[in-house]
Structure 1
Amino acid sequence: MSVQNMSESVYVGMCNKIGTPRQVTSRRDIKDMIEFLDNRYELVILSLSGSMKEGFRLRGSDVDYMLWPTNHRVIWDFSQSEFYNIHRQTLILCDSSESPPGFTLLWLPLELQAERKVWLSCVKMNGGLYISSSMYREINYSSCTPGSTIHGPCISNTNGQLENDNAHCFISDFWPPSASSWIDRCHSWPSPHVVNDIVKNGCHVVAIGHKLGNHEEIEWRISFSQAEYKLVYSMNHTQFLTYGMLKLFLKEIINNELRDEDKLLCSYHMKTAVFWAIQQNTLPQWYPRNLLAGFWVCFKLLLKWVYNGICPNFFIPENNMFLSKIHGHSQRSFFRRLYELYEKGITMLLHSPSIRSCIIGVLCNPRLTVCTDEHTLVSEAKFDIELFYDINTTDSLHTSDLQHCIQYLQTVEQLIGSPLTQYQVVSLQKYTATLFQYIAFTLSEYNMYINTNVNKQMYIADKISCHLLKLTAKFGYVSDMFYIAMYYYKTHRYREALSVIEITKVKLAQPYLMYERQVDRERYTEAVGGQSWSTKMRQAVAKNVILDNKKCYIHELIPEQQSSKQMSELNLYIPPSVLLHMLEFISFRHVDAMRAQAALDDLQVLVHHDQGVYVPICLRDISWEILGICQHIAGNLQSALYSYQQSLKQLPQNKIQTATRQRIHDLQF
C-alpha cells in the first residue's frame, strides 16, 4: 500500500466530509451574493466571516459575523483624508506608535462628528480622544439579546444549536503600513490579481487589545479577515482540504476533551500554517496524491512554532500570536504532547473519527483503486440537497419597510443584468420569490393601517399583493404556495385558500419531494434528474415555512409571533405539513364542518405519530402548539390543554412558551 493511495483515499473521504470543489464553490457563491444584497443600502455592514464564509459546513462550527458602520472610516495618516467628505464620513486616525505589532490606538479628532456609541467609548489620553476597544465592546454588548456573552473581540449568542460570534469593528479602505512587507513577499502565491484585490480592499480593526500591551483596554487589533477569505478562495482543493483536515485534527485530537481555557491552539493557527506552507513552497505541488504530505508539512510547521514559542502572523510576521499564551511550562508540556503525536507518524490520524474511516478502507484493501472524479463522488441528488439547504439558510429578509423592500428589488434587477454563476442564478430566483412575498405582506400591513378608508387604493394594493404572491408560488419552492393560501385566508377568501391548499397538498405528497435534507434520492432523480435547478425548485423542493414576526400572516398565530419576537427571535418556523392541515382546518370551518374535522384529525395523527419525518424534532414546539390551537377552536378543550402542555416539553426552538402558558391559563380560568 502506497502513501499516494492512502492520500487519495483520504482526499475522497474529505470531499465527502468537507465538500467537493463544486459544493464549496456553490456555498461561497451563494453567501457572497446574499451578503451583497443584504448590505446594499444598510448603515451598518454585516459580513459573514470565519469557516462558513470560507466554504466549510463542519458540524459544530460557529457562525462569525463582522459589523461596522458605513459612515466611519479608519485612516493611517492625514493625507488619506482627502479621499473623503468629512461632512458625511467620520474619520478615525490610527496611532500605532505605542502598540505591539498588529495592534493600534484609534484617535478621534475633536472637530469631527461620530455616532453616539463611539463618543461614549472615548477616553482622554495624550491630549486627545481615543476610542476604547473595551468600552466599545461593552456598549455594543449592553444592547444585545439576553444570554449573550463577550468572547474575545466578539459578542456571542446562541441561535438554536448554532453559536453566533459578532465582532463590532471599523473598516479601513487602505492597506496598513505595518503589513506592506506582505505585498513584497507574494512572489509565488497568491497571484498578483489576488494580491491587488486584497490590498485595494484594506482591512478592519476589531475591538480587542494585546494582553501584554501598555494599553490593552484601549487598543484595537488589525484584522485581515477579508484578505484571509480571499486567500482561502484562491487555494486549490487539495490545499483547502488540507486546511479542513487541520481543523478536524485540532478539534478531534489536539483539543479533544479539553476545557476552553486549556486550549492553546485554535483554528486561526491552522489557517496561518497553511498560508505559510503554501507561500514558502514547502510542497512543490498540491494535488490529491500528496494530501497527507501537505498535512504533514503543516503539522511540522506547527510543531516548530510551538518549540520556538513563535507563531508569526501571516500579514505582520512581527506579531507573534503565541506571545501571551504559549510560553514557559505550558509551552514545554504542549510541545512534548505534540512530539508524541509526531513520533507516531501519519497513523496518529487514526485517532480522528472523521479521518479514520478514510484510512481504514485502504489499510484493509491495499490494492483498492480510488476514484477522485467529482461526479462519481457526489450524486446529482446529494449535490442538490446541499445546494438547496445552503439556499435555505440565506432565504430570509428582516424588514417591514416598504421602501427598503423596493430597494432590494432594484438591487435584484441590477444583478439580473450582471454576470452570475449558475449557483447564484438559482439562489437569486429563490431570493426574489421570498422578496415578492415580503413586499406583498408588507403592502398588506401598510394598506391596512394607512389606507383603511380609501377603497380604490385598498383594491389596487390587494391586486398587487395577490399578483406578487402568485409569482412567489410560480418561481419559489412548493412550500412557497402557502403564502398565497395564508393571504387568501387572512382576507376571508376561504374557497380560494382551499383551492391553493389542495394543489399544494398534491405536490407535498409526491414521493420524490425534497424536504430540508430528506429525500428519496432514487425517486427524486427519476422525477427531476437532469432538469434545471429552477424546475427542481418549483416541482420537488419544500422547506419549513418562515413567518416574519413583524408581519401578520394568520391571526390565530399572532400570540406565538409576539412571544417569539419578545425573545428576540426574528421568525417563526413551521413544518409545511403542519401548516397545511392547520390552514385546511381553519379554512374549512367557514365552508364545510365535516371536512374541517377531517383536517383536524389528520393534523392530530401527524403530530402524535410522526417520527421526525414531516415534523422535525426541533419544531415540535410549534407543531404541538398549532394542534392545540385548532383543538381549542374546535371546542376540544381537554385535548387542547394536553397539546399545549406537550408544546412546553419540547425544545424551545421558536421561543413561544409565553404564548403557550397564556393559552393554558385562558383554558383553565
Structure 2
Amino acid sequence: MDFSSRNVETGFQHLCESVFVRLCQIVGTSVQVAIRRETKEICEMVERRVAENKDVIEMQSGSVREGFRLERSDVDYMYWFNDHRVIWDMSQSEYYYTENKTLILSDSSESPPGFTLLELLTPTYREVLSACVPMNDKLYISSSLYRQQTQFHRYPGSREHGPCESGEILGVVEYDFAQCFACDFWPPSASSWINRCHSWPDREVVDDIIKNGCHFVPIGHPLGLHEQEEWRISFSVAEHKLVHTMNHCQFLTYGLLKIFLKEVIEDKQSTETNKLLCSYHMKTAVFWVIQQNVVPLWCPQNILVGFWVCFKLLLRWVYEGVCPNFFILQNNLFLTKIHGSAQRSLFLKLHGLYEKGLACLLQSPSIRSYITDVLYNPRLSICSNEDRMISECECDVELYSEIDRNVSQAPENLACCITYLQAIELMIGLPLTQCQVLMLQKITANILQSTAFTLHNMYTNTGLNKQMYIADRISHHMLKLAANFGYISDMMYIAMHYYKALRYRDALSITEIIKVKLTQPGLMYKRRVDPERYTEAVGGQSWSTKMRQAVTHDITLNNYVCYINELTTEQQSALQYNRSFLIIPLFVVLHFVEFLCYRHIDTTLAQTALEELQVLVHHDQGLYISDLYRDISWEILGICQQMTGNLQAALFSYQQSQIQNQIQWNKIHTASQMRIQDLHIIDTSMH
C-alpha cells in the first residue's frame, strides 16, 4: 500500500470514529443503552410474575423499548387479554384449559402473507364478542370493529393510525397504543426464517424467539379479500430481541439510518415521497444486512461501511418495489405503499443521495459538523473509547431517570401487595446485573410503601386498638425499610404516614431532615445535578449508596391507596380515567405536609408553609415543578387555601389547575370541577 492510500484509509477511519462518537452522544453509549433495556426488562419480569389470568397485559414496544431516546422517539405499547390465546391449528388447543382461556383459531388460507383471519372458538368478553362477524357459519373477530371497540382515548386528540390509537402529549411525546391478541406458538408461515439463521442470531436467541410466539394487531391488508376482518402478524417481541442482540456499532448504524430518514430522506417539501419510508424499513434493512454477513466487521472504524451497505439495500428495494419482511419473505412491505409515480420519485431522490456518496450525510444537521471537523482537520485526534465518552455522573443520571420512568407498580389491595412481594422474593436469587438489582430494589421500596399504607388504612377507625397499634408498627417498619434502600424523597412517605397517624410533630421532624438533605450541593433531582459536586459527594460509591444519599425524585401515589385524606378526591378522579397513580412534585408534597401538620400545632407556621407553597406554585419556572404536574400542584395549593378560608384564592388555584388539566397527565380535572362547584355552593350559602 502506498503512502497516499494509507492516508486515505486513515482519514476514512477517522471519519467513521467521529461519526461513531457523535452517534454515541445522540443515541447513547453501550452502557446507557444497556441501562435503558435492563431496567425495563426487570420491570416487565416482575409484572409477568404477578399477572393473573384475567388481567390485561401491557408490553412496551417500538424504539424506546429498543433502547433509543431520540428526540421525538415514539412510545409504543401493546395490550392483550391474558386469558385469550390464538392457536394455529386445533391440536394446539390441548395445551390450554378452556374453562379459563378463550381460544381463537388463526385462518390464513384466504389472506395475503403476514395476515390472517381470527376465528373465535370459545366464549369471550362482550367487547370482543361485539367485534365479531359471521362468515361461512363461523364467527370471526373483525379487526376494524375491534379497533373501534377498544380505543382508549386516554389523551385528548387521539386518532386512529393503522392498528393503533395514536397522538401526541404536549406536542413532544408521540404515542401508539395497540390492542392485540397473543399467540404462544411461532407462525408456520415464518418457519423458513428459523432455517436462515446460520450466522445471526445464534441458536439460543432463535430458540428464545420461537418460544415467545407472536402477536396479532388489528389491521388488514389493503389488497386482502377481507381487509376489514384481517389481522396482521406482529413480530414485536422477536424484533426487540434481535435489536438487543446487535453489537453497539450495529445498533448505532440502525440509529444513524433513523436519523438519516428523518433529517435527509423525508422531504418536507414533497408530499408524494414524504413518509413513504419509515423506521421499520430501516430496521428491516439492518436485520437483512447483519444476517447476510455483508459487512465483515462491525466496529467504530467501519461504521460508515455498514451504513452505506444498508442504504444501497434500501435503494435496491425501492427500485424493485419489494421490501421483504424479515420473518415472512413473501410479505412485501412496499406492496401497497411504494409503487407508480411515488416509487419513481422516491427512487430518484434516493439515487441522487447515492450519487453524492457519503457526502449525503452532510445534509444531516445532527451529523454534519462531525464530518466537516475531520475533513478540515485530518490530523484531529478522536477518542472512540466509550468509557471516556460518558462521565460517572452522566451514567448515574441515565440510570436513576430510567428507574423513575419504570417504577409504576400500583397494587390494588393487600393481597396484590403480597403477590408482588412474593414475586420479588423469588427474583432475588436470579443472576441479575447490577443495574437490574437496583431496579428491583426500587420496585421493592415502592411496593413496601403501598403495602404500609394499605395495612394502615385497613385498621384505622376499627376500634381495635391493639390491632391498630400492630398495623401501625408494621407499616412504619416497612416505610423505614423502603427509605433505607430508596431515594432521599422516599423519606416523605414516613412523614405522610406520621401525619395520617396524627403524629404531627414526628411528621415535621422528618420533613426537617428531608429539607436538610435537599440542601446538599451534590443533590441529583431528576435529571438536574451539579456534576462536580455530585462526584465530590458520592463519586466512586455504589449505585445503591448514591441512591440513598444523593438522589431524589417526585412523589408517586398509588391511587388504590389513601396516603393523605385531603387528596382522596383527586385519586378517585384519576382512577375514573384508569390512571393508577398520581405524580406530585416533591417540594409541593413537602410544603403540603408541613402545612397540614402545622395547622394542628402552630397556625403562624402553617401560614408560613402555605406562603412557601404559594411562591413555589406561582413562580417556579420548571425547576421544581414540571409542566406535566402543574395540574396537581395548583390543586394542592387550592386545597390549602380553601382550608384557611381564603375561598377566592382557592377558586383561582382550582381554575389554574383546570387550565393545566388540558394536558390531563394526572387526570384530576373531575376533582377540580367538583371543588369549584363546592366553592360556589359555599359562597351561595354564605350570602
TM-score class normalised by the smaller sequence: over 0.9
Question: Is 2:413–2:560's contact at 8 Å kept on the other side of the alignment?
Answer: no
How many angstroms does 1:270 deviate by? 0.6
Q: Distance in 2 between matches of 1:585 and 1:87?
A: 54
Shift, 1:364, TM fit:
3.8
SS of the residue corresponding to residue 130 of structure 1 reads strand
Work out whether residues 141 and 148 of structure 1, in 8 Å CA contact, stay in contact via their aligned partners in 2.
no
The range that moved more, 40-49 or 244-253, is 40-49
SS in structure 2 opposite 1:134? helix
Stretches of structure 2 lacking an aligned partner (at least 5 in a row): 1-7
1:38 aligns with 2:34: no
Equivalence for 2:119: 107
User: How far apart are 1:666 and its partner, in Å?
Assistant: 5.0
Q: Which of 319, 322, 347 is equivalent to 2:331?
A: 319
Query: Pick from 563, 583, 604: which aligns with 1:594?
Result: 604
Q: How many Å apart are 1:62 and its aligned residue?
A: 1.6
Residue 282 of structure 2 corresponds to which residue in structure 1?
A: 270
Once residues 81 and 532 of structure 1 are traced to their aligned partners in structure 2, the CA distance between those partners, rounded to angstroms, is: 50
Whether contact under 8 Å (1:106, 1:131) holds in the other structure is yes
Preserved contact between residue 35 and residue 398 of structure 2 (Cα < 8 Å): no
Corresponding position of 2:64: 52
Question: Does 1:225 find its partner at 2:236?
Answer: yes
- Aligned 1:204-243 pairs, distance under 5 A: 204-243=215-254
Match for residue 20 of structure 2? 11
Alpha-carbon distance between aligned partners in 2 of 1:467 and 1:20, rounded to the nearest angstrom = 40
- Contact map agreement 2:87 2:93 (CA 8 A) in 1: yes
1:543 aligns with: 553
Which residue pairs with 1:26 in the alignment? 35
Instruction: Quote the residue 1:246 is aligned against.
Output: 257
* 1:166 alignment counterpart: 177
In the TM superposition, 1:26-175 aligns within 5 A as 26-40=35-49, 41-42=51-52, 43-109=55-121, 112-141=122-151, 147-156=157-166, 158=168, 161-175=172-186
% identical aligned pairs: 60
Taking the aligned partners of 1:662 and 1:74, their CA distance within structure 2 comes to 45
Contact 1:145 / 1:568 at 8 angstroms: preserved in 2? Answer: no
- How far is the alpha carbon of 1:298 from its aligned partner? 0.7
Task: Specify the alignment match of 2:355 in structure 1.
Answer: 343
Which of 495, 518, 541 is equivalent to 1:485? 495
From the superposition, tell whether residues 559 and 278 of structure 1 become closer, same or farther in structure 2 (CA, over 3 Å): same
Q: Is the 8 A contact 2:273 2:342 kept in 1?
A: no
Alpha-carbon spacing, 1:142–1:35, altered in 2? closer, same or farther (3 Å): closer
Instruction: Write out per-residue CA displacement over residues 508-534 of structure 1, whole angstroms, 9 at most, x where no aligned residue.
Output: 111111011000010000100111111
Where does residue 457 of structure 1 map in the other structure?
Answer: 467
Structure 2 Cα separation of the partners of residues 491 and 357 of structure 1 = 60
Q: Which of 187, 190, 197 in structure 1 is aligned with 2:198?
A: 187
* TM-score normalized with structure 1 length: 0.94
Higher mean alpha-carbon deviation, 216-225 vs 439-448, is at: 439-448
2:163 maps to amino acid: P
Contact 2:184/2:211 (<8 A) preserved: yes
**How many residue pairs align between the two structures?**
665
Match for residue 563 of structure 2?
553
CA distance in 1, matches of 2:679, 2:578: 27
The correspondence of residues 271-290 of structure 1 with structure 2, limited to 5 A, is 271-290=283-302
Structure 1 pair 566/95, CA: closer, same or farther in 2 (3 Å)?
A: closer
Tell me the equivalent position of 1:309. Answer: 321
- Please give the per-residue CA displacement for 1:75-130, whole angstroms capped at 9, x wherever unaligned: 22233333333334333222221111111122233xx3333333333222223222
TM-fit CA distance, 1:25: 1.2
> Which residue of 305, 311, 319 maps to 1:299?
311
Quote the Cα distance in structure 1 between the aligned partners of 2:667 and 2:673.
12
Conserved in 2, the CA contact under 8 Å of 1:628 and 1:644?
yes
> Displacement, 1:562?
3.8
Q: Is 82-91 or 460-469 further displaced after alignment?
A: 82-91
Amino acid in structure 1 at the alignment position of 2:78? M
Which of the residues 380, 384, 395 maps onto 1:368? 380
Amino acid at match of 1:290: N
State the alpha-carbon separation in 2 of the partners of residues 504 and 299 from structure 1. Answer: 54
In structure 2, the CA distance between the partners of 1:534 and 1:129, relative to structure 1 (3 Å rule), is same
Residue 176 (1) aligns with residue 187 (2) = yes
In the alignment, the residues of structure 2 paired with residue 144 and residue 609 of structure 1 have an alpha-carbon distance, to the nearest angstrom, of: 30
Q: Deviations over 1:463-507 (max 9, x none)?
A: 222111111221111111111111111221101100111111111
Alignment CA distance shift 1:629-1:190 (3 Å) = same
CA deviation after TM superposition for structure 1 residue 667, in Å = 4.9
Give the letter aligned to residue 439 of structure 1.
Answer: T
Paired with 1:192 and 1:663, the residues of 2 have a C-alpha distance of: 60
The equivalent residue for 1:203 is 214
The 1:260–1:537 alpha-carbon spacing in structure 2 relative to 1, beyond 3 Å, is farther
Is the alpha carbon distance of 1:392 and 1:114 closer, same or farther for their aligned partners in structure 2, counting shifts above 3 Å?
same
Q: Secondary structure of the residue that 1:141 maps to in structure 2? A: coil
Task: Return 183-192 or 312-321, whichever deviates more.
Answer: 183-192
- Give 3-state SS (helix, strand or coil) of 2:443's partner: helix
Aligned partners of 1:522 and 1:213: how far apart in 2? 61
RMSD, matched Cα: 2.3
In structure 1, list runs of 5 or more residues that go unmatched: none
User: How far apart are 1:306 and its partner, in Å?
Assistant: 0.7
Distance 1:641 1:173 in 2: 54
